[in-house]
Structure 1
Amino acid sequence: MVSWNDKVKRLLKSELVKRGVSNTDLAILLNEIGVHETKASIDSKISRGSFSACFFIQCLSVIGCSKIEIEELESSILIAAEPSVEYYKKSSNGN
Structure 2
Amino acid sequence: MADTEWEAKVKGLLKGELKRRNVSYAQLVDKLAAIGVVDSEPNIRNKLSRGKFTAVFLIQCLEAIGASKLNLE
Q: Same fold (TM over 0.5)?
A: yes
Higher helix share: 2
Task: String of CA shifts for 1:41-83, please: whole Å, max 9, x gaps.
Answer: 1000000101000000000001010001101xxxxxxxxxxxx
Superposed counterparts of 1:52-91, under 5 Å: 52-71=54-73
Bigger relative contact order (CA 8 A; separation at least 6): 2
Residue 43 (structure 1) aligned to one of 42, 45, 52: 45
Structure 1 unaligned blocks of 5 or more = 72-95
- Please give the TM-score of this superposition, normalised by the length of structure 2: 0.93
Structure 2 unaligned blocks of 5 or more = none
Mapped to 2, the partners of 1:41 and 1:34 lie a distance apart of 16
Q: Which stretches of structure 1, 4 residues or longer, exceed 3 Å deviation after superposition?
A: none
- Please give the TM-score of this superposition, normalised by the length of structure 1: 0.72
Question: 1:4 maps to which residue?
Answer: 6
> C-alpha root-mean-square deviation of aligned residues, in Å?
0.9
